[in-house]
Amino acid sequence: MIAALTDAGAFLTGHFQLNSGRHSDRYLEKFNMLQWPRYTELVCRKMAEAGRTYSPQTIAGPTTGGIVLAYEIGRQLGLRGIFCERAPEGGRTFQRDFRLQPGERVMVVDDVMTSGESVFDTIGAVQKAGGVVTSVAVMVDRSGGKVTFDVPSFAATEVEMQTWAADECPLCKQGVALKIT
Ligand SMILES: [Zn+2]
């Protein structure tokens, strides 16, 4: 799995400002991998196997990477893959006429988990639509094991990346050009 990310050139090195505002000398560009069906198929196979045990009826993920993952895992399990999108009031909702039956069993998937926010948003969207989350599977866990769920969860791989607060960043001190991700 790490090999797939490396082969696809998903690990970028340089000087990055992450979504959190912290700085890092590495960045994981998941779409360098997700643009390739052959890599995506491989990682989704691991995620699909982990979720299959809990008999999901539908696979759901958040925009944007979650669209690709939900679709491919759905394809492998013979199920549909749907996605939720940012809601104006915060969190995420299912749009585009995606519906769940009451009690429908849903496997939630996501790409890179750092704070877990988009996974929790997707769980919330499933519950709001009347479904039941049976398990969670992420492609990469960057949380350092800090994020946990009330349902069984699986990570295809775990990656640790060093980050610094902006005012403690050694790359800033060296004057290396910063890229906002
Ligand atoms: Zn910096």
Q: What is the CATH number of the domain that holds 46?
A: 3.40.50.2020
3-state secondary structure of 130: coil
Quick one: how far is CA 31 from the chain centroid? Answer: 11
Tell me how far apart the alpha carbons of residues 57 and 74 are, in angstroms, rounded to a whole number. 9
Give me the percent of the chain exceeding a pLDDT of 70.
Answer: 99
Residues of the chain with pLDDT under 70: 1
pLDDT at res. 68 = 97
Residue with tokens 């992420």: 138
Span from the CA of 46 to the centroid of ligand 1 (angstroms) = 35
| Beta strand segments in the chain, E | 11-17, 23-28, 58-62, 80-86, 92-94, 105-113, 132-141, 153-158, 163-164, 179-180
Span from the CA of 17 to the centroid of ligand 1 (angstroms) = 7
Span from the CA of 171 to the centroid of ligand 1 (angstroms) = 5
Number of domains in the chain: 1
Span from the CA of 92 to the centroid of ligand 1 (angstroms) = 31
Span from the CA of 174 to the centroid of ligand 1 (angstroms) = 9
Span from the CA of 27 to the centroid of ligand 1 (angstroms) = 13
Question: What global pTM score does this model have?
Answer: 0.89
Span from the CA of 143 to the centroid of ligand 1 (angstroms) = 20
Span from the CA of 12 to the centroid of ligand 1 (angstroms) = 15
pLDDT at res. 135 = 98
Span from the CA of 26 to the centroid of ligand 1 (angstroms) = 11
Span from the CA of 28 to the centroid of ligand 1 (angstroms) = 16
- Residues spanned by the domain of 140: 2-180
Contact 122, 58 (CB under 8 A): no
Span from the CA of 162 to the centroid of ligand 1 (angstroms) = 12
Radius of gyration over every alpha carbon of the chain, rounded to an integer in angstroms: 17
Contact 43, 156 (CB under 8 A): yes
Contact 46, 60 (CB under 8 A): no
Span from the CA of 113 to the centroid of ligand 1 (angstroms) = 22
**31 residue type, one letter:** F
The string of pLDDT tens digits covering residues 75-115 is 999 999 999 999 998 899 999 999 999 999 999 999 999 88
